[in-house]
């Protein structure tokens, strides 16, 4: 296993981190937010222990993962002296807080579930413009200073889901130790994107990467054209290995988080992490990434940048969210892409008032595009991932 420093913290972490959001349930499915399906503690413990034995020392969880079970499952796996051998991270669920006093209650509950009296890293979870404003109104920065002073959190940071200007303002607002962003070779300009990565690196923040495989879309059931591109490489690698090596090619990235839930996934990722170093991909290989990215991008149906100028919609339609899901459907053959959008925010709620089109910098015909979205995206709840097939 290779290690990298998290920003200016002096902490040397495995460049492969274990994300605990996609652990399997007892019936072999993955239900990331379902509290009614018990997580397979035995399998989770076996995976976590094997990861540690192979050098993984960074474990990431959060309050809502696995329907609130993830922290407890991870805490049980880190008993008998293993807690002290890892860097442990969880996150504050800002959206559930009704006052600043709730921050204390959530943190103390999380420490109890994890079976520890301190966290190596405590993150504000999923910051965007609205949640950041809410956090500031609840004096979150004073809370962070307090928990660092009393030792309950040794370092603090944030995970992020918004556009770069918001990211920059948050980075500049406090002396953070690290940030967590979505980044992969397709999402180069998505949310914080490459610009955000470079900005955080200039500020010497640790950079933790989530969704390196885009929820598995860059590793499984690839379009034939993408398989053909990868098969033309001089060195044969799996799609997952290509995606991980692209990230570890960036010196600024401290750790790549992977939601591994089978021994096969874990061992493959550990093997890649054992020799993937910065600035080692060849020019020929980088061209392959550009070709794959271009293939996905030419499937984009709506040139929406997600800027949000069209929002809020008077009818409550999540316009950028619907366009993102619509593009996901066509880019990655993901028929379930729209099922994460609440019914009241779906495209078919549009009343065609046209306010959004007056505000759109791209001058998109939003009303007509929302009709296309409504026709193609299925409604209904998001089903679980399929049962595990391999044996352990």
Q: Are 203 and 171 in contact (CB under 8 A)?
A: yes
> Of 282, 307, 330, at which residue does a domain stop?
282
> Of 220, 248, 282, at which residue does a domain stop?
282
Question: Is there a single domain that holds both residue 260 and residue 305?
Answer: no
Question: Is there a single domain that holds both residue 364 and residue 274?
Answer: no
- What's the CATH code of the domain at 88? 3.20.20.100
81 within some domain: yes
Question: Is there a single domain that holds both residue 255 and residue 322?
Answer: no
Arithmetic mean of pLDDT, 229-257:
96
Question: Is there a single domain that holds both residue 197 and residue 334?
Answer: no
**Roughly how many angstroms between the first and final C-alpha of the chain, as a whole number?**
23
pLDDT(383) > 70:
no
pLDDT at 336: 64
Question: Is there a single domain that holds both residue 114 and residue 165?
Answer: yes
Strand partners, 13: 4
pLDDT-derived band at 385, boundaries 50, 70, 90: very low
Higher-scoring residue by pLDDT: 84, 332: 84
128 within some domain: yes
338 within some domain: yes
104 within some domain: yes
Question: Is there a single domain that holds both residue 12 and residue 47?
Answer: yes
Strand partners, 14: 3
pLDDT(98) > 60:
yes
> For 140, phi and psi rounded to 5 degrees?
-65, -30
288 within some domain: no
Question: Is there a single domain that holds both residue 239 and residue 337?
Answer: no
pLDDT(382) > 60:
no
Residue 179's SS3 state is strand
290 within some domain: no
Residue 178's SS3 state is strand
Range of the domain at 330: 299-382
pLDDT(251) > 50:
yes
Question: Is there a single domain that holds both residue 69 and residue 175?
Answer: yes
pLDDT at 388: 43
389 within some domain: no
What secondary structure letter does DSSP report for 76? H
Question: Is there a single domain that holds both residue 76 and residue 178?
Answer: yes
pLDDT at 335: 63
Average of per-residue pLDDT values in the chain: 91
What secondary structure letter does DSSP report for 20? T
pLDDT in tens, 160-208: 988 899 999 999 999 999 999 999 999 898 889 999 999 999 999 999 9
Question: Is there a single domain that holds both residue 213 and residue 311?
Answer: no
> For 351, phi and psi rounded to 5 degrees?
-105, 5
Domain count, the chain: 2
How would you classify the pairing of strands 3-5 and 87-92?
unpaired
Question: Is there a single domain that holds both residue 231 and residue 137?
Answer: yes
387 within some domain: no
Question: Is there a single domain that holds both residue 223 and residue 128?
Answer: yes
């Amino acid at each position: 296993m290779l290690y990298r420093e998290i920003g200016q913290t002096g902490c040397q972490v495995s460049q492969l981190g274990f994300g605990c959001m996609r652990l399997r349930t007892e019936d072999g499915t993955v239900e990331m937010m379902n509290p009614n399906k018990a997580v397979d503690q035995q399998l989770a413990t076996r995976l976590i222990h094997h990861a540690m034995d192979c050098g993984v020392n960074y474990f990431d969880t959060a309050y809502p993962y696995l329907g609130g079970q993830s922290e407890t499952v991870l805490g049980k796996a880190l008993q008998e002296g293993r807690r002290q051998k890892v860097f442990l991270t969880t996150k504050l669920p800002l959206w559930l807080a009704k006052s600043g006093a709730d921050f204390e209650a959530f943190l103390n509950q999380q420490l109890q579930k994890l079976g520890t009296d301190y966290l190596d890293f405590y993150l504000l979870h999923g910051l965007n413009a609205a949640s950041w404003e809410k956090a500031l109104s609840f004096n979150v920065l004073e809370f962070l200073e307090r928990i660092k002073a009393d030792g309950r959190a040794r370092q603090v940071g944030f995970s992020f889901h918004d556009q770069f200007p918001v990211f920059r303002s948050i980075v500049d607002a406090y002396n953070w130790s690290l940030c967590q962003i979505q980044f992969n070779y397709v999402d180069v300009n998505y949310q914080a994107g490459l610009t955000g990565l470079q900005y955080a690196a200039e500020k010497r923040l640790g950079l933790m990467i989530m969704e390196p495989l885009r929820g598995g879309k860059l590793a499984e059931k690839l379009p034939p054209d993408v398989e053909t591109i990868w098969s033309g490489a001089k060195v044969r690698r799996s799609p997952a290995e290509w995606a991980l090596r692209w990230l570890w090619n960036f010196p600024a990235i401290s750790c790549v988080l992977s939601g591994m839930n089978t021994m096969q996934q874990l061992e493959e990722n550990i093997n890649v992490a054992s020799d993937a170093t910065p600035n080692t991909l060849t020019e020929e290989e980088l061209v392959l990434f550009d070709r794959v990215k271009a293939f996905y991008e030419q499937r984009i149906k709506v040139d929406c940048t997600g800027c949000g100028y069209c929002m809020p919609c008077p009818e409550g339609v999540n316009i950028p969210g619907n366009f993102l899901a619509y593009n996901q459907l066509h880019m990655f053959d993901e028929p379930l892409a729209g099922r994460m959008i609440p019914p009241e925010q779906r495209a078919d709620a549009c009343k065609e008032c046209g306010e959004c089109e007056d505000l759109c910098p791209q001058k998109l015909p939003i009303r007509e595009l929302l009709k296309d979205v409504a026709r193609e995206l299925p409604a209904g709840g998001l089903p679980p991932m399929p049962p595990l097939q391999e044996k352990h």
